[in-house]
Structure 1
């Protein structure tokens, strides 16, 4: 199965990508390296999971938010690349930002919502390096933001 077929088997249809909320491009291509700017957990252009982990967002809701973020990353790739997601040979790195209270320490568990989907969608090529950090706040009060670096094949 290719990545689109795998996503379909998971019940995922890629949405129309969100336009940038500030002065940046959603996707930047340099040779075979593709960087996708941070994406929020949006559905139909509206942030679906807001708040902070450790306060008013559960770990499960955070994982769902991270998954939504990655779906939006993939939507940006599908739209920006001439060959769409079929052009991606490898997920190189994902970066996760988790809006959380100072006491919250389960950032990695939350980010697994995105990482698990990357592996499910791309198979072994979806295994990636990753950084996950807690932050005081994110744009539009999003609970999670995910960015990615990909290799074109």
Structure 2
């Protein structure tokens, strides 16, 4: 099986895992119906066979879609596309996002300038020590 499916601990970082009873299948789990429906539409469009399970009233609300492991590479791309479509930005305000980016660029620039100036200072001190005249 692909090394991408081997997870020693399921911390919820990915939304897929091996099928519990059949190692030839991979199960994708989605927390909301919109994501599951979008993923299903992509599977139908790409003509990939799948099985879908909808949650019952007393279960945790996970929509499960099982695919054969031979299609894992294709479905992983579709899964990324689905997650990307429904992903919300970490910082919702456009002003704050651009401010944060500019702030980080300024910090990196200041760090680079400080590094360069410190090298010049160290080279001057090294020259002074080599010449035997230190201040």
TM over 0.5: no
Q: Which has the greater radius of gyration?
A: 2
Q: Which has the higher contact order (CA 8 A, sep 6+)?
A: 1
More strand by share: 1
TM-score by structure 1 length?
0.22
TM-score by structure 2 length?
0.24
More helix by share: 2
